[in-house]
A and B are shown apart, each in its own frame.
Chain A
Amino acid sequence: MRRAAWGFLTPFLALFALFFVLPLGYALVRSLYAVRRPGLGFGPASVEFAALRNYAAVLADPVFRSALGRIAVLGLVQIPVMLGLAAVLALLLDAGLARAVRWFRLGFFLPYGVPGVIAVLLWANLYVPQVFPLAWTDLLAPPYVLAAIGNIVTWEYVGYNTLILVTALQAVPRSLIEAAAADGAGPWRTAWSVKLPLLRPALVLTATFSIIGTLQLFSEPAVLRTITPAVSAGYTPNLHVYNTIFTDDLPHLGAAQAVLLAAVTFALSIAFLRVTRRWSAA
């Protein structure tokens, strides 16, 4: 029995060790070293132990900090808008007011099947007034580009989240809804007072995934950068990590940025789950 269990686990665990544990350890070790170039930077370079100096440099880096700030603004606006919309759509679908619910669900879900990169290429055209007259101005210009990214992310994931919320609603005991109806509650009232509170655990779950996804935002700004100068090399934390390592050729500093970003992601998602625990259980 034991042998069988390990037999089933070994193929996955071997790859998990190679592509999760080892890289994470490698990044941690690397973040503690730095390249030193003696003699005004013209001498032979050597790698030496730097303790936490890379981390201090990242924390003091204004680009990294403003990238985090930008992502925070995006997350604080985009996630509530997207999940609010998803909750409304899920409640409407569940109320059975519309016909052809299956087709609505499928239609909402389709953008999830569009790769993020292609979603950006697509929307980048729709943001240009000459191509798409509903765009009142160049929406890829600096004042709008963050909102433009938020809209792309919302478009990609609102249907996916709606589907998860609809499924969570299907698990609500029908007796509870019938009881509400018997008490004279209409569909609106039932949605607000009975179903919405029961949706809380699923909302917390989708919000957690959205927080993680927002902090990791890479392909949207990376692709937009090839289209508009409004997206800088350090626009989001992940883009900054990428450019630190591959454009600036500072792999050790980049490793420290990546580890810090992982730590922030981890801490924020745990904190969010903690804060919402009571709310979602109530």
Chain B
Amino acid sequence: MTGTTSSGAGFDYGLFSFASKDEMLRKSQEFWNPGKTQFWIDSGVPLVIDRREGYFLYDMSGKRLIDVHLNGGTYNLGHRHPEVVHTVSTAMQHFDIGNHHFPSLARTALAEALIASAPGGLTKVIYGSGGGEAIDIALKTARHTTQKRKIVSIVKAYHGHTGLAVGTGDERFSQLFLADAPEDFPHVPFNDLDAMEQALAGRDVAAVIMETIPATYGFPLPNPGYLRAVKQLCERYGALYIADEVQTGLMRTGELWGITKEGIEPDIMVTGKGISGGLYPIACVLVNERSAGWLTQDGFGHISTFGGAELGCIAALKALEITSRPETRSRVHYLADVIGSGLRRIQDTCPDWFTGIRQNGVIFGLEFDDPQGAKYVMKHLYENGVWAIFSTLDPRVLQYKPGILMSPELADELLDRTAVAITKAAREAAGQHGSRAVRAGWEGRR
């Protein structure tokens, strides 16, 4: 597939081509997903990702964007990281997806590496082809282990859209497909230990599933000690603790796994997205010995043709190695420091609009003083060359996730663009809503 231009020749990708971006968008609506396609056009983000490289995305128009969405951390290491690309390309001369029935070279090697990297107590790895399937595996494993059905998650949780996972999440996605099952999937408010204890007290809960920091909810930070207290409640009431580390793992908090920063050894841990460097889909469930029983009782209990595809395992081995380097950890600490203090400086220029910064490492939730605030900021960031996404379940908050290998220069550029975009968004929001606070804050500074 060759590079393209937006010149009169149209967009030729070898196997397919489009005459123009307009034609592409029209066909996207006709043949693919009209709702999604229209949503982005209406949001002022008419992005069709063409070229991608490092932390840059290029729209079909040629417009360059710094990617701080990273598709939830999928592109933690950047787009098409050369080492991962090389590793996968080389592996394709020998490996393919593999056969899920048999012991597998790459699956075993990755499992060993994952266990070596993981919080204490986790001993075995089960593979899925994506995060949702991995969550389903985790929930099924918890049910088997405890012989209980109920799964507790938090209100506004997001763990994927597959059969069981969708039940743990917001009704927006479960009710749409008549997949909500509140009797088996009670939801409790985040950071509310009393509610958690009430949900668990009946001793009929198989597991509590928690993102270490709930991403789609805008990264609200767990109160100090909250997660440990939840873990203790799980122990007291016979439930397993499932750590969803899909977005908080892989060095984003400055440690390989966010849950270890909380001092928790989960019974089950799920990783996905960035684990395979954005090049080959794979997700992994790490379980402790107590939860690993079904793998002995009936090793065919969960079958997945593409789960743990060997090429994905090889991509993951390399991505995990890059991510685990001491140099990478050090760089994340620098980046967190620089972006954190840079954002606080921006915040000081408009504290009434840019009301809060939730930070853990290079995970950021930026709060704005408007129920849809992050959508304004997203649009202005896009216009100013940055792609970051609002939080689906709390559009007041912008998800802002700089890549862990970002260079100092790019961090500076990102902050420059962000400062301008946030200021412009403040002006637009003030104009749209006449928000007194915003206008006062803005004018007070001129």
Tell whether A and B belong to one assembly: no
Q: A residues bordering B, Cβ < 8 Å?
A: none
Query: Which residues of B line the A interface, CB within 8 A?
Result: none
